[in-house]
């Protein structure tokens, strides 16, 4: 089964219209310029990952919900017997200059964690660019290949297949692939103390186009 392609512009427009907000109101809530939001809704621009996080915060939703085709609202915060299954090839994909992320269990709202399978495209820190930071904490497990982890406070270190790292996402950080092949990782970002979900990709996106 092929991976669903996101239509960020349609979802953003739908979410805004359902709330009855103008672009100015969304700008006030998210901190993003009206011109940027207008380009997003026209499918002329997507956002750097910290900007995606700001947009999700403005809507008070998880980042993964920005890649939902329905743009629907979440389930009640209090529930029992919660379950979500993602089969091979499923998930919502989003590509940036440094990563290709496949968000898992996107049908389950108000999650305590945001899981994703990601391909690490950058192969040097110069290619990666500035380190990213966002609220919350994250866990990275290397599924294949080797990655080099760059952080704000520590020397770079290498993680081979099967290795993992857990870190404070408010610290500047970035992941690059080591060797000729792109590495793949399992990335899980946990809820912040404020009750919001970070997405492991507040790292990523600087004004490039979505898939």
Q: What gap in Å lies between CA 141 and CA 188, rounded to an integer?
A: 9
At 29 the pLDDT is 92
Q: What is the DSSP string of 155-206?
A: --EEE-TT-EEEEETTS-EEEEEESSSPEEEEEEEEBPTTSPBP-TTTTT--
- Domain extent, residue 128, equals 92-190
Which residues does 55 contact at the CB level (< 8 Å), separation at least 6? 12, 30, 32, 40, 47, 66
Q: What is the CATH number of the domain that holds 143?
A: 2.60.120.10
pLDDT in the model for residue 5: 52
- pLDDT averaged per 10 residues in sequence order, the chain, 211 residues: 61 90 93 92 79 84 68 44 82 81 79 87 94 88 98 97 95 95 94 48 36 32
Place of tokens 């970035």: 174
Buried b (16+ CB within 10 A) or exposed e, 181-194: ebbbbbbbbbbeee
Contact 177, 183 (CB under 8 A): yes
- The residues near 10 (Cβ < 8 Å, ≥ 6 apart) are 69, 71
57 found inside a domain? no
Q: How many CB atoms lie within 10 A of CB 59?
A: 22
Is residue 134 in some structural domain?
yes
Is 6 inside any structural domain? no
The confidence score (pLDDT) of residue 34 equals 94
Residue 8 belongs to a domain: no
Rounded Cα gap, residues 101 and 139, in angstroms: 15
Nearest of 184, 210, 194 to residue 116 by alpha carbon:
184
The answer to whether residue 128 sits within a structural domain is yes
Res 49: pLDDT: 67
Q: Provide the 8-state DSSP code for 4.
A: B
What's the pLDDT score for residue 113? 82
Number of domains in the chain: 1
pTM for the structure as a whole: 0.64
103 assigned to some structural domain: yes
Is 54 within a domain?
Answer: no
**Residue 169, token pair as written in the block:** 């996402």
Task: Determine the Cα–Cα distance for residues 148 and 128; give it in Å rounded to an integer.
Answer: 11
At 171 the pLDDT is 93
In a domain, 20, yes or no: no
Q: Do residues 195 and 77 touch, judged by C-beta distance below 8 A? A: no
- Ramachandran angles phi, psi of 6, nearest 5°: -75, 150
Tokens found for residue 42: 């026209």
């Amino acid at each position: 089964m092929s991976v669903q392609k996101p239509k960020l512009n349609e979802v953003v427009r739908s979410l805004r219209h359902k709330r009855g907000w103008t672009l100015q109101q969304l700008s006030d809530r998210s901190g993003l310029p009206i011109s940027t939001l207008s380009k997003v809704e026209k499918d002329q621009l997507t956002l750097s990952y910290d900007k995606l996080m700001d947009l999700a915060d403005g809507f008070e939703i998880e980042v993964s919900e920005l890649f939902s085709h329905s743009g629907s609202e979440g389930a009640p915060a209090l529930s029992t017997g919660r379950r979500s299954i993602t089969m091979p090839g499923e998930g919502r994909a989003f590509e940036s200059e440094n990563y290709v992320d496949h968000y898992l269990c996107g049908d389950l709202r108000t999650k305590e964690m945001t899981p994703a399978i990601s391909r690490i495209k950058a192969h040097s820190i110069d290619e990666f660019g500035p380190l990213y930071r966002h609220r919350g904490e994250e866990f990275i497990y290397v599924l294949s290949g080797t990655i080099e982890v760059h952080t704000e406070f520590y020397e770079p270190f290498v993680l081979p297949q099967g290795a993992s790292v857990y870190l404070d996402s408010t610290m500047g950080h970035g992941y690059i692939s080591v060797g000729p092949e792109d590495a793949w990782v399992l990335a899980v970002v946990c809820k912040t103390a404020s009750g919001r979900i970070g997405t492991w990709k507040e790292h990523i996106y600087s004004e490039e186009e979505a898939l």
